[in-house]
């Protein structure tokens, strides 16, 4: 089972339609997931806080941002 990524952060209309004999295949734009968006927002908050200067050699800071994102997605699904 894959991790809940929340789906697309900024859903858009498909950018292209490919005709097919039995209908149409919609090709969407893709992009970042809501999980990535939430993690990025957590990172921005951490960087904006002068009391918490991130040292990008500390991988756990990025991991923490995804922990925050996962918690937000879990709460969103309640």
Q: Note the pLDDT tens digit of each residue in 33-42.
A: 899 999 999 9
Whether residue 15 lies inside any domain: the answer is: no
* pLDDT tens digit sequence for 23-76: 656 565 567 889 999 999 998 888 787 676 655 556 677 888 899 999 999 999
Into how many domains does the chain fold?
A: 1
Beta carbons within 8 Å of 24's beta carbon, 6+ residues apart: 17, 18
Q: Residue 72 sits in which domain range? A: 31-77
Whether residue 66 lies inside any domain: the answer is: yes
What is the DSSP code (8-state) at residue 9? S
- Would you call 64 exposed, middle or buried from its count of C-beta atoms within 10 A (0-12, 13-18, 19+)? middle
pTM: 0.63
Rounded Cα gap, residues 54 and 62, in angstroms: 9
């Amino acid at each position: 089972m894959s991790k809940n990524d929340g789906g697309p952060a900024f859903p858009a209309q498909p950018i292209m339609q490919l005709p097919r004999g039995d209908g149409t295949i919609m090709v969407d734009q893709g992009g970042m997931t809501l999980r990535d968006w939430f993690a990025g927002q957590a990172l921005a908050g951490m960087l904006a806080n002068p009391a918490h200067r991130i040292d990008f050699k500390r991988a756990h800071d990025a991991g923490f941002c995804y922990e925050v994102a996962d918690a937000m997605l879990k709460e969103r699904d309640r």
